[in-house]
Amino acid sequence: MAYLFSVRVISELKTSRTIIPLSNMVTYPAMLNNRRCYSSKVGSESEYLHKSIVPTMHYQRSLPRLPVPKLEDTIKRYLAAQRPLLNDEQYRNTEKLAHNFQSGVGKELHNDLVAQDMKNKHTSYISAPWFDMYLSARDPVVLNFNPFMSFNADPKPEYNDQLLRATNMVASAVRFMKTLRGGFLEPEVFHLNPAKSDTESFKKIIRWVPPALSWYGAYMVNAYPLDMSQYFRLFNSTRIPKPGTDELFTDAKARHLLVMRKGNMYVFDIVDRDGNLVKPAEIQAHLEYILSDPSPAPAFPLGFLTSENRDVWAGLREKLLAAGNGEALRTVDSALFCLCLDDEPMHDHIHISHNMLHGDGCNRWYDKSFSIILTKDGNAAINFEHSWGDGVAVLRFQNEVFKDTTEQPLVNPGSTAAAVDSASVVRRLDFKLDSELENGISKAKENFQAAISKLTIAAVQFQRGGKEMLKKKKLSPDAMVQLAFQMGFLRQYGQTVATYESCSTAAFRHGRTETIRPASVYTQRCAKAFVCQSNQYSVDQLQGMLNACSKYHGQLTKEAAMGQGFDRHLFGMCYLANSKGMPLPSFYQDPAYAAINHNILSTSTLTSPAVSLGGFAPVVPDGFGVGYGVHDEWIGCNVSSYPARNVHEFLQCVHKSLEDIFHVCEGKPIS
């Protein structure tokens, strides 16, 4: 399930989801020991984005642990979320099953989960099962898991040239990697009072506080460090298909970049033997060589295999290895990241969304931890494989790369590519294919094209207002947009359905995400009043309903950010029951439990100075994939659907709902 992301902590901290397995966990002392591979000699300041005086992982050891909620609280929250989705008879049955679970097998599972959590204090109770959920999923990663985030254009138009921007982004990515692995990347901290905590004087003090106590020092000045345990998987990492359950592979010693163009794969080093960034003029020369390579697209582009069912892909990978492609595959897997150079210019935002979310399948390696995609006209985006980590790490990377490339680019329109023999440096990967592998690639291409042909993406911008006006009315901007989705769906389909909003729990060690359930009795009542009964209520009464929705949504958001939702707790107990070989408790066999986890509205929010839009596919065939951003003066939505839903009509209904909400906020009756 692919979810977009956003980073807001404590009051509104949201992102997408995923996890690192305990068995594959790399400890941070081990990661930081890798700094010996990266030169920090005098005069190499351009090798780093910055040099934080507080070490990158300074807070990691002292982060608080993700709490296991009380079982009675979980059941109470679960029933509250079910109430607007069920009729009275269905709710009574679900309520009975829930209470029986709470006093029976659920109590046993909860106690076992707490006991297991106490034995694994180095991590969180959700970490291993959540990670296993991703890697054991057999669906293709394309559309089902990988999301995208597109970069804003460089404010200097001449820097949006494909070659120039690709060179600068590659150089900045290496600078980010070196800053991270050298321990110089500024720790990720949410500052509630930046005047006290985000200062040089505080940093000079906190760096001397022992790592085991550093979180408490930050907490004393209202600062909340975030978990950074996922960052080491950003680079040199790939998801490897295996029968039943995939694996993550990371080789931090590799120094090369993987570049794809027309489905061809090229590699060259972007870090030298001393651990330094290769001269940007040389990187520019190598990329120029690739862009001018007249080689046609391969008849059987290997990238299509990464869009296949994971078991099918695992079987074909074994055949690739048996055919003598082991070294080439390892070269792909160990590359720092993948740079996709597309020959096609973009027409509009919808074209960009389709290209960055799935593309043509030929010029992608969807299994890489992340790929930077650059189109012919300089549009750029990140598409990332979702199993290794959440949006927190990816968004930080994207923000830093955008800032670095726009504020201190290492090549410019007047730069001349180095006079080097790129033909002897850049290596095009060749793969040995037999008829069985060729047939497998052809079938993967057919399946890919059939899947993407069913996807529709549409977007809308609501220009009448944004978060500034809503905040003046003391309303949560996120709550009002989520309410608009509820109103829009009710207007279009006449019902309230299961709705998912991702919320990060990165304030905790190895925290993942929790679910906010925006559909509530408050939004249901308010949506009906606005859509079906507006003439029965005064403006004051409607404003009161908006306030109630805002207040309750704020409560749900805070609970989720503090690890006090119900979804992860219930999932953890179900996973534990399965791992113990227990019969599935009747609570989990309730059709209502299946229905609330069939998320027809899957939503996630993102606002960043680096990001223009983001998106993902629906998580169920009859759902919507709703990416949205609430800006100061406007609201944007980028929504996907399959044929079972009409996304254009849905966005019209959402736009109308936002108009009605803003009308009432201004004290005007609904027109």
Give catalytic residue positions: 386
Handedness of CA 168, 430, 333, 614 (dihedral sign): positive
Handedness of CA 438, 439, 443, 446 (dihedral sign): positive
What is the number of other CB atoms lying within 10 angstroms of the CB of residue 108?
Answer: 15
CB half-sphere exposure, 227, CA atoms < 13 A = 27
Q: Do strands 456-462 and 223-225 pair parallel, antiparallel, or not at all (unpaired)? A: unpaired
Residue matched to tokens 């982004």: 169
The residue among 3, 15, 135 whose CA lies nearest residue 512 is: 15
Strand 189-191 with 237-240, pairing = unpaired
- How many other CB atoms are there within 10 angstroms of residue 535's CB atom? 7
Amino acid code (one letter) for 565: G
CB 654, CB 491: distance < 8 Å = no
What does DSSP assign to residue 265?
Answer: E
Quote the CA–CA distance of 531 and 494 in Å, as a whole number.
Answer: 10
For residues 23 and 489, what is the distance between their CA atoms, to the nearest angstrom? Answer: 43
- Residue 431 neighbours by CB distance under 10 Å: 17
Element (H, E) at 611: strand 611-615
Cβ-contact 624, 601 below 8 angstroms:
yes
CA 546 to chain centre: 30
Task: Indicate the pairing of strand 624-630 with strand 601-605.
Answer: parallel
CA distance 176 to 50: 9
3-state secondary structure of 609: coil
How many whole angstroms separate alpha carbon 183 and alpha carbon 177? 10
In one-letter notation, the amino acid at residue 411 is: V
Cα–Cα distance, 362 to 357 (Å, whole number)? 13
Q: Cα dist. 522→48, 83, 89, 141 in Å?
A: 50, 11, 20, 36
Tokens of 630: 């609430």
CB 332 within 8 A of CB 240: no
Rounded to the nearest 10 degrees, how much is the dihedral formed by the CA atoms of 23, 29, 30, 36?
170
Q: Across the chain, how many H-helices and E-strands are there?
A: 24, 18
CB 254 within 8 A of CB 334: yes
The HSE-up count of residue 422 (CA atoms within 13 Å, CB side) is 20
Q: What is the DSSP letter of 248?
A: E
Cα distance between residue 215 and residue 225, in whole Å:
7
Which ranges of 38-191 does DSSP label H, i.e. alpha helix?
A: 71-82, 88-103, 105-119, 127-136, 162-181
308: Cα within 13 Å, side-chain hemisphere: 25
SS3 6: coil
